[in-house]
Amino acid sequence: MTLSKIAFLSVHTCPLAAPGQGKSGGMNVHVRQLAAALGDMGVEVDIFTKEHIGQSDMIESISSNVRVIHLHAGGVDVPLEDLFEHLPQFLEEFKRYQKENGIKYQAIHSHYWMSGWVGQEMVNDLDIPHVVTFHTLARIKMQSRPGERESLKRQDTEKDIMRNADKVIAFSSHERDAMIRLYDAPSDRIALVPCGVDLSRFRPLDQSQARQHLGINGEKVFLYVGRIESLKGVDLLLETTAHLDVSEKVKVLVVGGDDGRGHEVLRLKQRAKELDIDGIVEFVGRVDQDQLPIYYSAADVCVVPSFYESFGLAALESMACGTPVVAYRVGGLPTIIKHGSTGYLKSWRCPEAFANSLEMITSSNSLIESMGQASRERAETMGWDRVACTLSEHYKYLALEMV
């Protein structure tokens, strides 16, 4: 069977939005890069998302085979917590667009639980398969951090989608097992397909030149990349920094934006002052994707202190740039990081243990070099072309089953 046309649903966030600000992050990168890789294979992909402030046109092209189509769903400024009630409008707009343009898709691939609701309702009227990638799951988030709360509506919707979707994509065995344990998901409908990385963009650069570009000289450099929100656990990075031996110069770069209100960044800056490390911690803000390889290459180690990561794209991007990673052993991170080879996975959220691993890596140039080489080699097995090939086989197999 020839695969020709697929619909992606990314209702709550546009893949054209810049990662690292608000709710834009790894999912945006995933949707865009996966669609682009499928497009390179000759598959036409239409990505449907809600209209939003800052969009250029209702229909925007990513490549000759990939388009982003913005649909109405309660207005351009509907907050995420209120979006669910507007999903029926998005569904009707999707149906109208497909009918008016005479388009027939071979499969729908939904991203996130709200997109999954739309996708399931859509395929009820069509004889095509529904594939879902959740990216994050409510019940895993709630288990990962005390005080984390998610609505029953989300939990129940996620469970219903897993029960009815033709295929659910899990990034890691941890996520797959959690789906079965926490949601009673049918195990035979779950496929394990890790995320990917853009190997042409994220590649090793000369460290001295990268540091010169950033105005860094002679320091040990530790890096965090991601959204600035409580679930990302940046407090642990600050506490780890306070335990480092600063007899040598140390620089900690925190790259990423917050939800636009700035509360979390202000809180973290105050915490850095309390720990007396504000002089060595720099909150850089959001950085364009094209500039991120400079930061990864300038760093000695990338730190991923999150309470929960369904996959951990920043870790893989860092490794693709030849920079080892120290991370909390959670979610999909063990799928990427090979403990002792490409970095270290820590089983406890203990600042002393994180600090010991950072100092161990940076105390040996040969260890930095060997871990950096192993990191790049590991990343080279996880390019987007491989992810696209794997998923295209799932789409074709499911579509054939319905013929």
Q: What is the model's pLDDT at position 21?
A: 54
Sign of the alpha-carbon torsion through 271, 273, 279, 285: positive
Q: Which residues pair with 281 in a beta bridge?
A: 252
pTM here is 0.92
Contacts of 264 by beta carbon, 8 Å cutoff, 6+ apart: 228, 229, 230, 258
Q: d(Cα 328, Cα 309) in Å, to the nearest integer? A: 9
H/E element holding 355?
Answer: helix 351-362
Q: What is the pLDDT of residue 101?
A: 95
**Residues found in the chain:** 403
Q: Which of 225, 162, 207 has the alpha carbon at shortest distance from 26?
A: 225
Do domains 5-196+383-401 and 207-379 share one topology? The answer is yes
Please give the pLDDT value at position 53.
80
User: Contact, 319 vs 333, CB < 8 A?
Assistant: no
Position 23 scores a pLDDT of: 60
Check: CB of residue 259 under 8 Å from CB of residue 222: no
CATH topology of domain 5-196+383-401: Rossmann fold (3.40.50)
Residues 123, 92: Cα–Cα separation, whole Å: 13
Regions of the chain with pLDDT less than 70: 1, 19-24, 247, 259-261, 403
Q: Report the distance separating Cα 242 and Cα 272, nearest Å.
A: 9
> How is the chain split into domains, by residue range?
5-196+383-401, 207-379
CB 210 within 8 A of CB 188: no
Q: How much is the pLDDT for 55?
A: 74
CA distances from 315 to 299, 334, 355, 364 (A): 13, 10, 18, 21
Write down the architecture of domain 207-379 according to CATH: 3-Layer(aba) Sandwich (3.40)
Query: In the numeric block, which tokens belong to residue 394?
Result: 């799932």
DSSP 278-293: TTTEEEEE---TTTHH
